[in-house]
Amino acid sequence: MGAPSSPSPGVSVGDVTLDQRLCLALYTASRAMTARYRPSLADLGLTYPQYLVMVLLWEQGASSVTAIGQGLTLDSSTLSPLLKRLQAMGLVTRTRAATDERLMIIGLTEQGAAMQTEAAHVAVDLCEATGLPLVNQLELVQTLHELTSELDASTRAALARQA
């Protein structure tokens, strides 16, 4: 496909080619990022979504399935089998909340907590793999959060107009 060309000043949206479209750039960057995680996670035996759950638990401690789903923007039908697999691997526990039996609480086992030290290289590997200085990565993350917020609001408005 080659490197995307830059649009000329004053170009209209209709003139933007496929390789210049934000949607494709985000899609291919997301696929490339996920693919790059595979070799870094291979020795841990984790998939990328499993790794994200583990990072969330290392940062926040025991969390409800709902909170994990919200934090990772994953629905329960995706999250439940993933959490069962992590439990089978001996990395997490799944227990009902004492105060509300409907809530499933996910916690780390000793093995799961210890894996944080083993996994420390993953963040470093990926940070270096981007070729971007950390400050630029953090700025990009902020921009992507803003983009997500705008798109979510626009989607809600579009759906409300359809109703």
- Residues whose CB falls within 8 Å of the CB of residue 148, separated by 6 or more in sequence, listed in order: none
The verdict on residue 50 lying in a domain is yes
| Residue 121 · residue 40 · CB < 8 Å | yes
| Angle made by CA atoms 143, 148, 154, in degrees to the nearest 5 | 125
- The confidence score (pLDDT) of residue 79 equals 95
Tens-binned pLDDT, residue by residue, of the chain (163 aa): 455 566 566 778 888 999 999 999 999 999 999 999 999 999 999 999 999 999 999 999 999 999 999 999 999 899 999 999 999 999 999 999 888 888 899 999 999 999 999 999 999 999 999 999 999 999 999 999 999 999 999 999 999 999 8
Considering its fold, how many domains does the chain have in total? 1
Distance CA 28, CA 37 (A): 14
| Residue 87 · residue 94 · CB < 8 Å | yes
- The confidence score (pLDDT) of residue 1 equals 47
Q: What DSSP element (H or E) covers 63?
A: strand 63-64
The verdict on residue 35 lying in a domain is yes
Residue listed under structure tokens 């025991």: 62
- The confidence score (pLDDT) of residue 6 equals 60
User: Residue 22 maps to which CATH number?
Assistant: 1.10.10.10
The verdict on residue 60 lying in a domain is yes
| Residue 81 · residue 136 · CB < 8 Å | no
The verdict on residue 142 lying in a domain is no
Domain span including residue 79: 17-116
The verdict on residue 8 lying in a domain is no
- The confidence score (pLDDT) of residue 5 equals 60
- The confidence score (pLDDT) of residue 129 equals 97
Distance CA 135, CA 129 (A): 15
The verdict on residue 82 lying in a domain is yes
Spacing of C-alpha 103 from chain mean position:
23
The verdict on residue 12 lying in a domain is no
Closest CA to 108 of 68, 72, 71, 48: 68
The verdict on residue 139 lying in a domain is no
- The confidence score (pLDDT) of residue 7 equals 57
